[in-house]
Amino acid sequence: MFQLKSILNTYWTKVKYALWVIFFVVMIFAVRTYVNYLAVVDSIETVDARTAAVQNEMDYAENFQKKYLASDYGYLFLAHDNSMIFRGEEIILFKSSGDVVETWFNVDLTHIPYRPTEEEQRKMMEPTKAWNLYLSETWSKIK
């Protein structure tokens, strides 16, 4: 026991540094182990999510799509999915109200017998433009 005390007293700084190095190596090992554990958990969750997505697609095809396409009008649904139109059908194109409003206000309205009032024009505007116009008018009245 005396020899151990004398050795520790003589080489205490070296023993302390050796313990720090061992602690540092063990800490690195623990961090690497934890990071690997998180990677495994993440990959398991990814595989579970992919499995659920594939199962949902298979359920959709089995329970809905097969019955949908096996009906009497299945060929019509497939034709419309492939952008084929039949006799008597027309293609309807929808445009946003912003396009209509822009073209409406870019046209000279002097030759049109009926000219909408300012309030009607405001109602036809996009909400953001109407709001900006309202704020600018209110601000000009305040000044």
At residue 107, the pLDDT reads 55
Q: Which phi and psi (to 5°) does residue 91 adopt?
A: -95, 130
Residue 8: predicted pLDDT: 80
Residue 66: predicted pLDDT: 79
Cα(15)–Cα(22) distance, integer angstroms: 10
CA–CA gap between residue 126 and residue 23 (Å, rounded) = 67
**What single string gives the DSSP state of each residue in 53-64?**
HHHHHHHHIIII
- The pTM is what? 0.41
Please give the Cα distance from 137 to 123 (Å, whole number): 16
Question: For 41-56, how does the pLDDT look when each residue is reduced to its tens digit (9 = 90+)?
Answer: 999 999 999 999 999 9
